[in-house]
Structure 1
Amino acid sequence: MNDTMLNFPGTLFGELERLQRQLEDTMGSGRAASIRPAAPGAFPAINVGNTPTSVEIYAFAPGVDAAALELTLDRGVLIVAGERTAPDTGSAEHRFAYSRERPFGRFRRAITLPDDIDPSRVEAKYQDGVLRVSVARRAEAQPQRIAIQ
């Protein structure tokens, strides 16, 4: 089968290739982390945006205690990790669930940030289940108006 068939959407091989890329992005493959979206249902859901002076990251983690969150920035990769505990379902005979859509347990998400960030100027706030991380851009990376003589 030629390469055109492999990359054609809707073919079995194209779908397998897409799934492999998705698995590598989610689980890691030795490549750098990415700001590309993770698979649907990844926890916590993350939004990443820009302003001229900062990169803004929102991690939606309802039901997670702030003390259970860990935030690290290493070589331009922001890591949001933590744990969401399972709900207390009462006695043993009531713990069986037919369906469980709310994930719990340990989680870890990595977001590659642009090269112009200032790792010494990071602010993080957690309120109402939303972790907001603001990473300032370096002053020298800001656009500057140049006077013409």
Structure 2
Amino acid sequence: MYRALFPRDLFAEIDRLQRDMRQAADLSPSIRGLPRDGFPALNVGSTDRALEIYAFAPGIDPASLEVTLERGLLTIAGERKGITPRPEDKATLHINERFEGAFRRVMTLPEDADPEGVEAKLSNGLLHITVQRQVAAQPRRITVQ
């Protein structure tokens, strides 16, 4: 009796609705707090000399990636091609959890980030971005006389 009242994948629809509501409520990310569920997933850390940003982007063509730094905002943008079945294959897709399409992640960098000291490398689906801190902001030891 209940099968006729509820769609077969009710839990999948509830999960999708929760994800959509979470994304609508997320504020813009910053270096001190990143929301979850964005693509690519980010790990952000810092040392005295640099900020280290790791973006997990498997299946991304390096030519489709764009990393920019403008007015203290670091932007990672690109596109991930889909692998969904073609209509002529007459295949049914039951679950598709892999993100595909255009993406853009923007994060605010601290004031001591050096816009001239940015380096980005993509290797095995891991984008590593290093943003150097300005020399004046780096800690230094002062000798006591």
Aligned to 2:123: 127
Aligned AA (1:44): P
Aligned partner of 1:112 among 90, 108, 113: 108
1:144 alignment partner, SS class: coil
Residue 38 of structure 1 is matched in structure 2 by 35
Identity %: 47
- Contact 1:25–1:34 under 8 Å retained in 2: no
- Partner of 1:92, secondary structure, is helix
Deviations 1:24-63 (A, max 9, x none): 535x5xxxx42322233x2100010001110000000001
Gaps of 5+ in 2: 1-20
Secondary structure class of the residue paired with 1:140: helix
Structure 1 residues 34 and 95 mapped into 2: Cα distance closer, same or farther (>3 Å)?
farther
Mark the runs of 5 or more structure 1 residues left unpaired by the alignment: 1-18
Mapped partners of 1:95, 1:49: distance in 2 = 43
What TM-score does the superposition give when structure 2 sets the normalisation length? 0.76
CA distance in 1, matches of 2:39, 2:90: 26
The separation in 1 between residues aligned to 2:48 and 2:82, in whole angstroms, is: 40
Contact 1:116–1:141 (Cα < 8 Å) also in 2: yes
RMSD, aligned CA:
2.0
How many angstroms apart in 2 are the aligned matches of 1:23 and 1:34? 17
* Alignment equivalent of 1:137, drawn from 111, 117, 133: 133
Contact 1:81 1:107 (8 Å CA) reproduced: yes
Which stretches of structure 1, 4 residues or more, deviate above 4 A after TM superposition? none
- Kindly provide the amino acid, as one letter, of the partner of residue 38 in structure 1: P
